[in-house]
């Protein structure tokens, strides 16, 4: 119980700083890959500070409510994860947070926001099956041998001396594939992009201004730390060496996502949906089916 509370507090306090640094590293890597120097490493923090000092212009009160609900539920998702609770609960809260962002965009009646909301729902349809299969995969993997399967994150980490990725290579590949969607990287940045190449301006967040836009950006920092933590869950086990190995794998996965972002063009929603479901079935479902035979 004490360990869970420490994990929650550490995440809520330090995740924005870690997420902001990750965003700064992302910009630096992107600039280097494009032959540029790029902005300072702390530029994301400067941008957020500038947004906070700007006036907030709202279309209606519901936009304000739903935007705040998105921020709260995203932070709650990561807090549950790093608190070591049931991973299915974490997945459901994450989905609820995404729905609040969609609702925020639809209340504005802006064509760019509404179009972004529609695309966001298509993204959810694309990645949700793989996210659920990831949770199921951990349950099946922890049930191998004399142990009973568990959805509890703290037990998933400590149940074995062998990293879960050994049992779940297909699920890991599938998760990395949909991670591109969750991180809003090209070729799947169809509802909103962090770069200036989106035909819908800022897509789902077009009508957010000032401090509200800063809160949404901070919530993405929270979310990115959680998403990379899920990558680490594939590597962590009861052995001490799994901790540095997990950090290395997270760094490698993040670098891969930035590389994909800078070497691919954005695809249409139907190709994203089809490819994500194919990867989910071929890698995720077959991996879990094989595990259940043991």
Q: If DSSP codes are grouped into helix, strand and coil, which group holds residue 152?
A: strand
Question: What are the extents of the domains in the chain?
Answer: 2-291
Contact 159, 140 (CB under 8 A): no
Number of H helices, E strands in the chain: 11, 0
Alpha carbons 49 and 149: distance in angstroms, whole number: 45
Whole-prediction pTM: 0.93
**pLDDT the model gives residue 115:** 84
41: tokens are 């490493």
Contacts of 25 (CB under 8 A, 6+ apart): 41, 254
**pLDDT the model gives residue 201:** 60
Tell me the mean pLDDT per 10 residues along the chain, length 294.
Answer: 84 95 94 90 93 82 88 95 93 94 85 84 93 94 81 90 94 96 88 61 76 90 96 94 96 95 87 94 93 79
Contact 205, 174 (CB under 8 A): no
Q: What is the DSSP letter of 158?
A: H
**pLDDT the model gives residue 213:** 87
Alpha carbons 127 and 240: distance in angstroms, whole number: 32
Surface-to-core class of residue 226, CB atoms within 10 Å of its CB (0-12 exposed, 13-18 middle, 19+ buried): buried
Up-side HSE of residue 261: CA atoms within 13 Å toward CB?
A: 26
**pLDDT the model gives residue 124:** 92
**pLDDT the model gives residue 200:** 57
**pLDDT the model gives residue 138:** 95
**pLDDT the model gives residue 149:** 83
**pLDDT the model gives residue 292:** 82
């Amino acid at each position: 119980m004490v360990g869970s509370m420490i994990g929650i507090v550490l995440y809520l306090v330090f995740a924005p700083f870690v997420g902001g640094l990750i965003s700064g590293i992302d910009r630096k890597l992107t600039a280097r890959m494009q032959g540029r120097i790029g902005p300072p490493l702390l530029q994301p923090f400067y941008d957020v500070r500038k947004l906070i000092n700007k006036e907030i212009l709202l279309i209606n009160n519901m936009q304000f409510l739903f935007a705040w609900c998105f921020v709260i539920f995203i932070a709650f998702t990561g807090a549950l994860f790093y608190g070591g609770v049931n991973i299915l609960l974490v997945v459901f809260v994450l989905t609820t947070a995404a729905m609040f962002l969609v609702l925020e965009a639809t209340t504005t009646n802006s064509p760019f926001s509404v179009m972004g909301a529609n695309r966001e729902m298509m993204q959810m349809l694309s990645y949700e099956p793989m996210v659920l299969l990831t949770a199921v995969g951990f349950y099946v993997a922890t049930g191998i041998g004399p142990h009973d399967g568990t959805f509890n994150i703290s037990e998933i980490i400590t149940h074995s001396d062998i990293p879960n990725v050994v049992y779940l290579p297909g699920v890991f590949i599938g998760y990395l594939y949909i991670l591109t969607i969750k991180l809003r990287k090209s070729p799947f940045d169809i509802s909103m992009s962090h770069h200036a190449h989106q035909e819908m301006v800022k897509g789902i967040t077009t009508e957010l201004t000032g401090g509200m836009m800063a809160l949404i950006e901070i919530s993405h920092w929270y979310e990115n730390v959680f998403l990379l933590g899920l990558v680490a869950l594939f590597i962590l086990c009861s052995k001490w060496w799994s901790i540095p190995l997990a950090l290395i794998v997270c760094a490698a996965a993040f670098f891969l996502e930035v590389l994909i972002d800078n070497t691919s063009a954005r695809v249409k929603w139907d190709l994203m949906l089809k490819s994500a479901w194919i990867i989910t079935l071929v890698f995720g479902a077959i991996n879990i089916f094989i595990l259940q035979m043991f």
